[in-house]
Amino acid sequence: MSIGLPRPADDAPPGWWSNPDAVSWVGPGTGDGATAFHAGIDGYAPTALIDLPALAEELGVGRVLAKDESSRFGLSAFKVLGVSWATHQALAARLGIQATPLTVADLRLACSAAGPVELVTATDGNHGRALAWMARRLGLPARVVVPDTLPPAVVDAIRDQGATVVAMPVDYDEAVRQAARLAEASPDALLIQDTAWPGYEQVPQWIVDGYATMFREIDAQLRDAGLPDADLVAVPIGVGSLAQAAVAHARRGPSGTATRVLGVEPDSAACVLASVMAGRLRSIPTGQTVMNGLNCGTPSSLAWPYLRSGLDATVAIPDDAADRAGEDLAALGISSGPSGAAALAGVRVALSGEGHGRRRAELGLTRASTVVLLNTEGVIRTQGGDGPSQWNHREGPRA
């Protein structure tokens, strides 16, 4: 047992951190109910877990499987799993409904009979689009705060779901503060945010509980295919709520697994890497990255204890690594936006270059290991004013 947080090894690249004690950490798991609720939503189906033997060969492991969130509820990203469950729970609590889970239709009915409610959030893309989608299904208005640097097609994708978009000249962290202020100023508003800070932790916990559906699906799919638990799951990180769900699922006590969790962040927004290296939750300035969904400067306060103690390793990657991974996944028939392709890019960075043997050992990988990549988003196409466009891919030649 080491004392305090482990330090990066001498031969580790600047964007690498690992924690040998994480695999034996035990956490409180995630709450129940979300998976049954999701299964009752129109259009629900487990997303595919796709075997990619060419990548297994390249990475020197037994199997690589991609959990393909590009088709989740037709929204091209996993985020709706968290939004839908957190909205269900927050509305049930507000309306004083005890018998849950309700169906979306029953929740809509209950909302129509109650006083006005407006769903509010901040987003760098996928979360806001998912909230707008859920609000539309519930017949509720939604207001979504975005940094004004988001590509117009991102904003169109949120508006296309019927939400009001408030674009502000701020970064993601400030957009979150602004949405919280807007919500505080209106008695009708219900803030559904996917990151936590002291005093705002219940809704983000429901978001994380909603993400658990993805991990339960993976377990069932591996079991159905006669495969053992994954040895490693690679998780793109923005504020760390998804990584919290991954850690909580793997380290949930007696029924948990020895699956190691690798976090992957853009090198321009590696707030979890900065925090685990400092041993305390840190905010960092962020700039531009193709990985829009991961462009966050502050880890979720709720995720932080899970990441500090239960995350096995984390790696920071440059934009071009995410771009290349997206192209390679496309060539294998998988639609992958840069934030989703980050999972593959992160495993590649970890397993190549100086010190790769040591990092492979730190991840517990052998030639027989099973690696699951969370492809958290597909290439997202929208029908904006100027015709179809892709909103999570660089247009034209690479910079």
Ligand X SMILES: Cc1ncc(COP(=O)(O)O)c(C=O)c1O
Nearer CB in complex with ligand X: 140/373: 373
Distance CA 176, CA 173 (A): 5
R_g over Cα of the chain: 20
Q: Among residues 376, 378, 380, 384, which is the contact residue for ligand X, using CB under 6 A?
A: 376
Nearer CB in complex with ligand X: 64/80: 80
Distance CA 346, CA 325 (A): 9
The answer to whether 268 and 287 have CB atoms below 8 angstroms apart is: yes
Binding of ligand X at residue 340 (CB under 6 A)? yes
Q: Binding to ligand X (CB under 6 A): which residues in 345-374? A: none
Going by C-beta distance under 8 Å and a sequence separation of 6 or more, which residues neighbour residue 6?
17, 18, 19, 20, 21
Nearer CB in complex with ligand X: 194/328: 194
Binding of ligand X at residue 68 (CB under 6 A)? no
The answer to whether 315 and 270 have CB atoms below 8 angstroms apart is: no
Q: Among residues 27, 147, 240, 378, which is the contact residue for ligand X, using CB under 6 A?
A: 240
Whether the bond into 101 is cis, omega within 30 of 0: yes
3-state SS class at 47: coil
Q: Tell me, residue by residue from 106 to 145, as one string, x for binding to ligand X by CB under 6 A and - for no binding.
A: --------------------xx------------------
Binding of ligand X at residue 286 (CB under 6 A)? no
Binding of ligand X at residue 210 (CB under 6 A)? no
3-state SS class at 234: strand
Q: Among residues 38, 63, 72, 79, which is the contact residue for ligand X, using CB under 6 A?
A: 79
Q: Among residues 35, 121, 221, 241, which is the contact residue for ligand X, using CB under 6 A?
A: 241
Q: Among residues 377, 378, 382, 393, which is the contact residue for ligand X, using CB under 6 A?
A: 377
Nearer CB in complex with ligand X: 100/197: 197
Nearer CB in complex with ligand X: 237/344: 237
Total binding residues for ligand X by CB under 6 A?
Answer: 20
First to last CA, the chain: 45
Of 221, 201, 262, 217, residue with least CA distance to 72: 217
Burial zone of 135 (CB within 10 Å; 0-12 exposed, 13-18 middle, 19+ buried): buried
Using Cβ positions, the residue closest to ligand X within the complex turns out to be: 293
Binding of ligand X at residue 317 (CB under 6 A)? no
The answer to whether 19 and 272 have CB atoms below 8 angstroms apart is: no
Instruction: Find the shortest distance in angstroms from Cβ 291 to ligand X.
Output: 8
The answer to whether 197 and 301 have CB atoms below 8 angstroms apart is: yes
Nearer CB in complex with ligand X: 234/296: 296
Stretch that binds ligand X, among 37-45, 136-144, 224-232, 240-248 (CB under 6 A): 240-248
Binding of ligand X at residue 262 (CB under 6 A)? no
Of 214, 254, 220, 255, residue with least CA distance to 235: 214
Nearer CB in complex with ligand X: 117/299: 299
Nearer CB in complex with ligand X: 7/177: 177
Stretch that binds ligand X, among 179-187, 196-204, 290-298, 326-334 (CB under 6 A): 290-298
The answer to whether 95 and 114 have CB atoms below 8 angstroms apart is: yes
Number of C-beta neighbours around residue 331 at 10 A: 9
Number of C-beta neighbours around residue 233 at 10 A: 27
Q: Where along the sequence are the contacts to ligand X (CB under 6 A)?
A: 77, 79, 126-127, 194, 236-243, 293-294, 296, 339-340, 376-377
